[in-house]
Chains A and B, each alone.
Chain A
Amino acid sequence: MLPLDINAELGRAGGNAVFFLIGAAFGATLELAGFGDSRRLAAQFYLKDMTVLKTMFTGIVVACLLLFLSSALGLLDFSQISVNQTFLWPGIVGGLIMGGGFIVGGYCPGTSVVSAASLKLDGLLFLLGTGLGAGLFGETVSSFSEFWNSSFTDRLLVSDWLGWSIGATVFAVTLMALGMFYGAEKTEEFFRSGKLSWQLKKPVYLAGAGALFAVAAAVWIIGQPDPLRRWELMQGRYAALLASRDVFIDPLEYVQTANNTGIKLLTLDLRAEAEFTAFHLAASERRSLDEMLDSRVAAPLAQLPAQGVVVLVADDEASAVAAWQRLKVQGVSNLYILDGGLRHWHARFAGRTLHGKPVDLSRPPAAVLEQFPKDAFTPKIKLATKKRSGGLCS
């Protein structure tokens, strides 16, 4: 199942070779589109030549449809795809600045690379300028870092903001792009001939638009798989972790982790409310198995910082495993189950004393670990380094 993690599959050298090849395809495409020529790019802003808009939005819509169609068909796990983090206001201000740089300089960074590569001196100067501008930013950002880090959401999709399904959003984005393409054709026609008709004379364009429309409708109709369906699709990837018990942690490791200030630990208790009220771990919150299907519950867990760990607590292993599966397929990375549930917990700590006082069973201090032999448990928690957000721009 896609996506692959190419550095893990091929090692650093092989991974870098793939990045190089993808870059080569990208550079060649930009060059073939004629984006090494600043006059064509700047003409977009004088309405004479809408090439930039046409190519850019076709690229976005085609990639978007391929991604969400593969996800709908169970070929790709979208939770493992890097989504640019949203820093809304810095993004808006940066975008406006870049629009200015675009019309003054005639390129954007990617196109200036291609322009410089084909020996265009204006492209080369623009590329040098981009490096200088990036340097200037690094020198000055500390004076407005509060603003630069404001209005942050890790993984915020247009569909979340609209409150629509992903399928409906993809369909709407496709329709919007088709509308923009029609507008672009008519704008060019008007500026070229001074006349305007409503007809679109190129049948191949109508066929292309029809194909995009049909795929977008299919993405909407099929819908994105829910967590239960995703587990069916993805168990090949994750079932081994459960079978080898690599994600079951001993109560002693839980105590060690809970007392490690370098780790942000979140504990979810799956038991019924009455049992929870009677006793629960001090740091735990109660969550039902059904709530694990809700993306509003799962999304914050998937967006914990790299040192975040989530531990599931239940008395029967079946419900802990079910919850683990539901959260895992929604992209929660450092996810563990308290081995043996609270029965094992009580067996470990009940009746223990420290300095003559009984140990608080809901939050045993780290000192209690000294009462156990060093090899009393096998440490399982390995913090996965997250690469899914941030991406290549950071």
Chain B
Amino acid sequence: MSAMNRPPKPVLNPYLAGAILGVVLFASFALTQGGLGASGAISRIQVSATALLSQSHVDRVGYFAAVGGGDRHALDHSSVYLFLGTFLGGMLSARLNGRMKIEVFKGPRISSWQRLGFALLGGAIMGYGARFARGCTSGQALSGGAVLSLGSWAFMFCVFIGGYALAYFVRRLWTD
């Protein structure tokens, strides 16, 4: 319990964190031929959850069937292990640094319930967009950016453009 009561340690310098991230990303390419990712595994978990409710629905919808149709197991994929690692690595680091605590991060002008609602909504938009773009910030922007994929660079700038374009209109969510 002592680790949980410690005050949170300061976060890493952003460039140092970036340099470590770059080394991890390089290690991923060097050992597995591919980069990092998160949204692919989230999609697979969603398909396997859908299959628990109705396998026939997964078989019928082509996009789901491609990973979890028939005798395919949606969770039988390297990306799912990467996802589990990401979760546990994040958990371990949070615990060691005194950041393991139930809380809701939000702007000062909205209630926690509003924040949770917007988090769910934003997540759904993000999940839709990540499948549309065939990858998320880690899979497309980070990994594709490092190997100079043209599509990934175009994608990356569009994420920033999309965020900046909408930021003013949703400023109540985040600013004083």
Contact = CB atoms under 8 A, between A and B. Distances in A.
Contacts, number: 577
Contacts of A7: 32, 78
Contact of A83 (B25, B129, B147): B147
Instruction: Give the interface size class of chain B.
Output: 35 or more
Interface string B91-108: 111110101111111110
Given A100-B163, A101-B122, A134 B116 contact: no
Contact of B86 (A26, A44, A148): A26
A57 B157 CA distance: 12
Contact of B42 (A57, A81, A119, A127): A127
Nearest to B57: A139
A392 B78 contact: yes
A34 interface: yes
Interface string A23-49: 111111111111011111011111000
Given A23-B81, A113-B83, A118-B101, A133 B125 contact: yes
A1 to B, nearest CB: 10
B23 interface: yes
A103 B170 contact: yes
Mostly, the B contact residues are helix
A29 B159 CA distance: 22
Interface in B127-142: 127-142
B86 A121 contact: no
B81 A16 contact: yes
Interface in B1-52: 11-12, 14-15, 17-43, 45-47, 49-50
A39 B105 contact: yes
A137 B128 contact: yes
B127 A109 contact: yes
A132 B32 contact: no
Interface residues of A, number: 137
Contacts of A4: 30-33
A267 B176 CA distance: 67
A26 B128 CA distance: 23
A205 B124 contact: no
B161 to A, nearest CB: 6
Interface string A333-377: 000000000000000000000000000000000000000000000
A393 B132 CA distance: 11
19 contacts: A3-B32, A31-B97, A32-B97, A33-B11, A33-B17, A33-B18, A33-B21, A39-B174, A45-B167, A60-B145, A62-B18, A62-B25, A96-B158, A99-B164, A122-B104, A134-B39, A134-B128, A391-B135, A392-B143
Given A46-B174, A99-B159, 17 more contacts: A19-B82, A26-B82, A30-B86, A42-B107, A66-B22, A82-B33, A86-B152, A88-B151, A95-B161, A100-B166, A107-B119, A116-B87, A119-B102, A122-B119, A127-B42, A134-B42, A134-B43
Interface of B: 11-12, 14-15, 17-43, 45-47, 49-50, 61-64, 78-79, 81-95, 97, 99-107, 112, 115-116, 118-167, 170-171, 173-175
